[in-house]
Homo-oligomer: A and B are copies of this chain.
C-alpha cells in the first residue's frame, strides 16, 4: 500500500521538523547568547534534511501511486494537499531557492541597517534583487490572470487577486469614512493601561486568560521572546511566547491571547492528522482568524471584561477605580498611527491594503522599488490621514519584503474578515453567546471553533472552508457590521 508508505514518509519528515522547530524555539527563548552563531547552521542542516526527503523522487512516486489506490476522504485530502506542495517545490529550480535564501538573508541585514539609519537607499538594491527573484519564482509557479496570484496562493491557497480586490474596495471606503466619523465621537484614551505593571503580575494575568480559553498546558507552555509567536514542536506540543513591557498592560495580555488563539487551533487539529499535509491550519489567514477572534472579538469585547474584570482586580487592585466599561474603552482606543503592529482594529486593515497594493504593483512591474517611499507616504495620507516623519516608521517598518514574503500581508487582513464572518455564524448558532461570554463560559466558544474549524485541519482550502462553515463565500460585510457595532459603542456614536 503506497498510502501507508506515504504516511510513514511524512511522519519521518515530521521528526526532522520537530527537531528543527525545537532548535528555533530554543533560539528565541532559552539559548545562551554565545551559542547563536553556530545554531543557525544546525537549523539549516536539519531543515534541509526534511526538505530533501519531501522533494525526493521517491516521495513523488508514492504520491502518484497512492493516488491510484482506493482512499477515504481524509486520505484523498492528504494526497491533494501533499501533491500541491510537492509540485510547487518541484517547479522551482533548486538554484533559485538557493539564490533566494542568500539574497533574502543579505536583504534582511541591509534592512536592519537601513531601518536603524533611517536610509531607504541602503535597502534599495537588496530589495530590488529580492523582487526580481520573487517574480522569477512566481513565473515558475505559474498563474492565469495575475502574477501576484502565484504568490498569494502560497499563503492563501486558491484565492485570486481579483477576488481580493472585490473584498477590499468596499472595506476601504468604509474604513476611511468611518475613521472620520470616529473623530466626531466622544474622546477616549488608553492611559489607564500605561501605568506601572510588574512583570510577574502580568504573567499571572496572561496565564489566567489562557486557562480561561482552555489552552492545554499539558500539551504546551508559555515562554518569553522578543516577538511573540506560536510554534508546534510536535503532537501535543504547541508552545506560545509572549513579551512584557512594565509600562503597558495591553502588550502582554493581548499578545498572549492572540498567540493563545493560534495555539488553540493547533491543539484542536486531530491527533491523527499530525505530521501529515493536512495536519496544519487551512491557511495563514484562517490561522490569523483564530488568533484575532480571541484577541479582538472575544478579548476586546465588553462581555469579556465583565467577566475578566474580577481577575484583573484580583491581580491589580488599582483597577477597582475603573469599571469594566472603562477598560473596554481603553483597550479599544483608535488612533491614526504609523506602525501596523501597534494598530487598532479600525485602522489595521488600512495598513494592510496599502501594502497589498504596493506589492501587487511591484510584482507586476507597475511601480519601481525606488518609488516605494513616495508611494508609501501618499497612500498613508490618503487612507490614514497621517504621514510618517521618516522611512523607519514608514516603508522600512516591516521585515516581510526583505524575506521575499510577497503575498503574505493580505493574510493579516483576511484573518480579520474571516473572524468576523465566523463570529456572525457563531452568534446565530449560539443565540445567548454574549451572555455566555459575560459568564466566563469560553468553552462554548472553543467547542464551536473546534467543531467547525479546528477539527478540519488543512483538509479544505480556505475558500471552501468558509463556505462550509458560514454557507457563504468570503465577504467584508460582517467585519464592517462588527466594527460599526463595537466602535459606535466605544465612541458613543
A406 to B168, CA, bound (A): 70
A116 contacts chain B at the CB level, 8 A cutoff: no
Name which of A40-48, A120-128, A352-360, A361-369 contacts chain B: A40-48
Contact A233 B35, beta carbon cutoff 8 Å? yes
Name which of A19-27, A375-383, A441-449 contacts chain B: A19-27
In the bound complex, residues from chain B placing their C-beta under 8 Å from that of A15 are: 41-42, 45-46
Contact bitstring A197-238, B, C-beta under 8 A = 1, else 0 = 000000000000000000011111100000000000111110
User: Pick the contact of A34 from B26, B45, B219 — CB < 8 Å?
Assistant: B219
A31 contacts chain B at the CB level, 8 A cutoff: yes
A244 to B216, CA, bound (A): 26
Contact A35 B217, beta carbon cutoff 8 Å? no
In the bound complex, residues from chain B placing their C-beta under 8 Å from that of A39 are: 18, 234, 237
A12 contacts chain B at the CB level, 8 A cutoff: yes
Q: How near does chain B come to A222, taking the closest CB pair, in angstroms? A: 11
Which residue in chain B gives the minimum CB-CB distance to A45? B15
In the bound complex, residues from chain B placing their C-beta under 8 Å from that of A45 are: 12, 15-16
User: Pick the contact of A32 from B19, B37, B237 — CB < 8 Å?
Assistant: B237
Contact A218 B33, beta carbon cutoff 8 Å? yes
A19 to B43, CA, bound (A): 8
Q: Given A32-B219, A45-B15, A220-B32: A236 and B22 within 8 A (CB)? A: no
Contact B42 A18, beta carbon cutoff 8 Å? yes
A12-B45, A15-B42, A31-B237 known; 8 new pairs, CB 8 Å cut-off, are A15-B46, A16-B45, A22-B26, A30-B221, A32-B239, A33-B218, A35-B234, A42-B234
A-B contact pairs, 19 of them (CB 8 A): A15-B45, A18-B23, A18-B39, A18-B42, A19-B23, A19-B46, A22-B22, A26-B26, A32-B220, A32-B236, A32-B239, A34-B219, A34-B236, A34-B237, A35-B234, A35-B235, A35-B236, A37-B236, A38-B235
Which residues of A are at the interface with B, using a C-beta cutoff of 8 A?
A: 12, 15-16, 18-20, 22-23, 26, 30-35, 37-39, 41-42, 45-46, 49, 216-221, 233-237, 239
